[in-house]
């Protein structure tokens, strides 16, 4: 999403090659010999053996003496333990949001559920000339007062929706008051489901100048994130925004969902 720039330092060739070997071994279910890894990566066999010895000393691979093959060890899982689902979703979405910005101009956000609110994981606010916010990543958005929240709660599985409403209803704040009004909540959900997107037109008291529309991003039957477009409310109505920008948002959503179904992302 960010403009490309010249690297400050030269690539560490040994590190790059070591990562290439780990990547190749990850795709070889039964392990691989140095010769096989050399063929897969294009790295000279002598260099492959030297790198494998280093990786073995560090505990990331083990060698089978019977056939001279190498396999990954459980230690490689430590490399991904801190990389949660919302992190790789935002990593996949970031370049798509960058492309979307060139088309819609208004800023967009990728949000995911965090217990009882949507959290901004990726955004183009800092790149959009039409944005009046610059620090958005990590901001929490209420479920029943924002477009992202409504898009999530309206399209997530019914059991999850019921659990979320029960959780919100236990809170002693404005959103708790909304959640305890079952007729109001049902109307919000049905309206969102009927329109196919979440909407907010100056409904959230923390951002009374803004309006937004949002659509869910799905993986199988689950909603795993939402794509949100934010604009100044006086610029246009919700219906005008939906007519003008939803097609581009849906194309971006489809690209992200397509990336999620690629081998190695599940």
Same domain, 243 and 170: yes
The more confident residue out of 144 and 28 is 144
Kindly state whether residues 64 and 100 are assigned to the same domain. no
Do residues 127 and 105 both lie within one domain?
yes
Q: Is the pLDDT of residue 248 over 70?
A: yes
Of 2 and 246, more confident: 246
Q: Which of 79, 99, 119 is the last residue of a domain?
A: 79
pLDDT band at 66 (very low <50, low <70, confident <90, very high): confident
Q: How many C-beta atoms surround the C-beta of residue 175 within 10 A?
A: 19
Domain tally, the chain: 2
Return the CATH number at 53: 1.10.10.10
Q: Is residue 203 part of a domain?
A: yes
**For the ranges 2-6, 12-16, 39-43, which has the lowest average pLDDT?**
2-6
For the cut 80, the answer to whether the pLDDT of residue 80 exceeds it is no
- Residue 157: domain span: 85-260
Q: Of the residues 64, 79, 94, which one is the last residue of a structural domain? A: 79
Say whether both 18 and 49 belong to one domain.
yes
pLDDT surpasses 90 at 258: no
Judgement on whether residues 158 and 254 belong to the same structural domain of the protein = yes
Residue 266 forms part of a structural domain: no
60 and 179 inside one domain? no
Same domain, 65 and 175: no
Residues 117 and 214 both lie in one domain: yes
| Structure letter (DSSP) for residue 4 | P
Residues 147 and 192 in one domain: yes
Region for residue 215 given its phi and psi (left: phi exceeds 0; alpha: psi -120 to 50; beta: otherwise)? beta
Helical H segments across 28-121, by residue range:
34-41, 45-57, 85-104
For residue 222, which phi and psi values (nearest 5 degrees)? -100, 150
What are the tokens at 6?
């010249």
Q: Taking 70 as the threshold, does the pLDDT of residue 264 lie above it?
A: no
Total-model pTM: 0.69
Helix, coil or strand: residue 145: coil
CB atoms within 10 A of CB 101: 22
Does residue 51 surpass a pLDDT of 90? Answer: yes
């Amino acid at each position: 999403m960010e403009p490309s720039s010249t690297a400050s330092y030269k690539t560490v060739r040994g590190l790059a090659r070591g990562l290439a070997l780990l990547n190749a071994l990850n795709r070889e279910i039964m392990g691989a010999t140095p010769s096989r890894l050399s063929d897969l990566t294009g790295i000279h066999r002598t260099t492959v053996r030297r790198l494998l010895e280093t990786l073995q000393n560090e505990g990331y691979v083990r060698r089978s003496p019977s056939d001279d093959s190498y396999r990954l060890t459980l230690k490689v899982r430590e490399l991904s333990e801190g990389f949660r689902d919302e992190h790789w979703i935002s990593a996949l979405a970031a370049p798509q949001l960058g492309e979307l910005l060139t088309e819609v101009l208004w800023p967009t956000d990728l949000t995911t559920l965090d217990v009882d609110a949507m959290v901004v994981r990726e955004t183009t606010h800092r790149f959009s000339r039409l944005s009046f916010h610059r620090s958005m990543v990590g901001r929490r958005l209420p479920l029943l007062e924002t477009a992202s929240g409504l898009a999530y709660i309206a399209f997530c599985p019914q059991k999850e929706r019921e659990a979320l409403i029960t959780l919100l209803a236990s809170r002693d704040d404005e959103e708790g008051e909304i959640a305890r009004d079952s007729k109001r909540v049902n109307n919000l959900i049905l309206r969102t489901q009927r329109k196919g997107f979440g909407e907010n037109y100056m409904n959230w008291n923390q951002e009374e100048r803004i309006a937004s529309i949002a659509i869910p991003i799905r993986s199988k039957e689950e909603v795993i994130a939402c794509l949100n477009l934010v604009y100044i409310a006086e610029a246009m109505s919700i219906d005008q925004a939906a007519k003008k920008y939803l097609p581009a948002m849906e194309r971006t959503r489809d690209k992200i969902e397509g990336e999620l179904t690629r081998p190695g992302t599940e």
